[in-house]
Amino acid sequence: MAGIPSVTINRKAEDRLRSGHPWVYSSDVTARGSAAAGDVVRVVNARGKAVGAAHYSSTSQITLRMLTDKPESVDRAFFRERLARALDFRKEVVRDSEAYRVVHAEGDLLPGLIVDRYGEYLSAQFLDQGMDRSRDTIAGCLQELIAPRGIVARNDVPVRKLEGLPLESEVVSGEVPSAVCFQMNGLRLSADLLHGQKTGIYLDQRENYLAVARHAHGRALDAFTSTGGFALHMAPRCETVEAVDSSAAALKTGAAIRDENGIVNVEFREANVFDLLASYSAAKREFDTVVLDPPAFAKSRKTLDSALRGYKEINFKALRLLRRGGILATCSCSHHVMEAMLLEVVAEAALDAGKTLRVLERRVQAQDHPILLTVPETLYLKCLILQVL
């Protein structure tokens, strides 16, 4: 690691690193030396001893994201090895899907990097200055390891503002069609990698689609459906499925997927879920299955209380629509909302709605979005499957 800038951290930061969390906050950095935006830097403790190497951010509150605690070079070979290991892990855990997450940032020891695979194409997010600068190296390694026909950089993510990086979405290698087709769980899906939500579509509920579909029945409502993930998986088990979202573009993709798969009992509807649940409740509409998969209401710890009120409100309204024996699948994708909190607000909502709930399954994100035990942020998605007694 000779010849790279050194950044010195205090005791508190060192303890945090020892506890298995790879971030160092700006307030715990005591000297920045000649470090510049996006550099790989040597991280030095208060006694002057090297503790590893990190990506340096000149603007974020998270100044350092550790890449290694070994005295090794962070070069092309380093990234290629980490990417190869990430890919090997997917071979173990991904079943029946040509779309999956290849790299889940900290969960794959590659902080700041997301790579999703959609069949023959990749869609990546370079979320910090270090990964942004390593973009071409990483794209080159991915080309060698996976040989995709095209790679998209979905760098239109608001967190990049904290890094002083532009928000943009572009093809970085090969050619990418406007609709990329792939199989998932026996369905033929498609995604718009340049403009769709996240890197194209949501991939983190892939295993939960199957789990929820196993319990779904009767008249179903998929609230916050996006491109219809839960709705289309539940369709064979249900009489009808109403799939609701506020994004017209996502709904259009969902309807195209429905038609491509010859599914006839899913209806997509553009609406605000809060308003829709209130009007259905007033009209005493009844359902046998309701899925709630809202966006992250708690973007930070400061908004946690109002987020919990939001979760309680939609769960209360959804529960009012459910018949006896009905299924509620309720999710939270905010890591600030821990499973225990979600269970508590849903329990309160159930008491208020006069329903008794049995827990059928307590689930998390799909395994290709790995969770690191010492990095709580990596466990972000909770999915509870409950039954009304």
Among 52, 130, 229, 326, binds ligand SAH (CB under 6 A): 229
Give the residue with the Cβ less far from ligand SAH, 60 or 332. 332
Contact assessment for residue 317 and residue 290, using Cβ atoms and an 8 Å cutoff: no
Closest approach, Cβ 365 to ligand SAH, in A, equals: 11
Residue 227 binds to ligand SAH (criterion: CB under 6 A): yes
Give the residue with the Cβ less far from ligand SAH, 124 or 184. 184
Residue 368 binds to ligand SAH (criterion: CB under 6 A): no
Closest approach, Cβ 279 to ligand SAH, in A, equals: 13
Backbone φ/ψ region at 113: left (φ over 0), alpha (ψ -120 to 50), beta: beta
Among 118, 182, 202, 311, binds ligand SAH (CB under 6 A): 202
Give the residue with the Cβ less far from ligand SAH, 227 or 315. 227
For 2, other C-beta atoms within 10 Å of its C-beta total 5
Residue 53 binds to ligand SAH (criterion: CB under 6 A): no
Give the residue with the Cβ less far from ligand SAH, 115 or 231. 231
**Candidate list 141, 331, 333, 383, residue with the active-site label:** 333
Smallest Cα–Cα separation from 267: which of 220, 308, 305? 220
For 307, other C-beta atoms within 10 Å of its C-beta total 23
Residue 155 binds to ligand SAH (criterion: CB under 6 A): no
Give the residue with the Cβ less far from ligand SAH, 83 or 383. 383
Residue 365 binds to ligand SAH (criterion: CB under 6 A): no
Residue 56 binds to ligand SAH (criterion: CB under 6 A): no
Whole-angstrom distance, CA of residue 211 vs CA of residue 44: 47
Could you give the C-alpha distances from 105 to 108, 227, 237, 336, 367, in angstroms and in order?
6, 24, 35, 18, 14
Residue 246 binds to ligand SAH (criterion: CB under 6 A): yes
333 catalytic? Reply is yes
Residue 295 binds to ligand SAH (criterion: CB under 6 A): yes
Closest approach, Cβ 243 to ligand SAH, in A, equals: 9
Residue that is written with structure tokens 């290991």 in the block: 85
Residue 163: both structure tokens together? 């890094």
Closest approach, Cβ 295 to ligand SAH, in A, equals: 4
Of 119-127, 176-184, 201-209, 363-371, the window that binds ligand SAH (rule: CB under 6 A) is 201-209
Contact assessment for residue 71 and residue 22, using Cβ atoms and an 8 Å cutoff: no
Give the residue with the Cβ less far from ligand SAH, 63 or 197. 197
Residue 346: both structure tokens together? 């849903």
Among 23, 118, 182, 230, binds ligand SAH (CB under 6 A): 230
Among 225, 315, 332, 378, binds ligand SAH (CB under 6 A): 225
The residues binding ligand SAH (CB under 6 A) are 197, 201-202, 205, 224-227, 229-230, 245-247, 250, 272-274, 293-295
